[in-house]
Amino acid sequence: MSKRSDSRRTGRASHQPPGLALPKGKVPALRVVPMPADANHNGDIFGGWIMAQVDVAGGTVAGRVARGRVATVAVNSFVFKQPVQVGDVLSLYADVARIGNTSITVDVQVYAERGRADRWIVKVTEATLTYVAIDRDGRPRPVPAP
Choice between 58 and 83, CB closer to ligand COA: 58
| 117 DSSP β-pair partners | none
Stretch that binds ligand COA, among 44-52, 67-75, 85-93, 111-119 (CB under 6 A): 67-75
| Segment interacting with ligand COA (CB under 6 A) among 8-16, 19-27, 40-48, 94-102 | 94-102
Nearest distance from residue 136's CB to ligand COA, in Å?
Answer: 12
Among 103, 109, 125, 128, binds ligand COA (CB under 6 A): 103
Q: Residues touching ligand COA: how many (CB under 6 A)?
A: 13
SS3 string, 39-108, reads ECCCCEECHHHHHHHHHHHHHHHHHHHHCCCEEEEEEEEEEECCCCECCCEEEEEEEEEEECCCEEEEEE
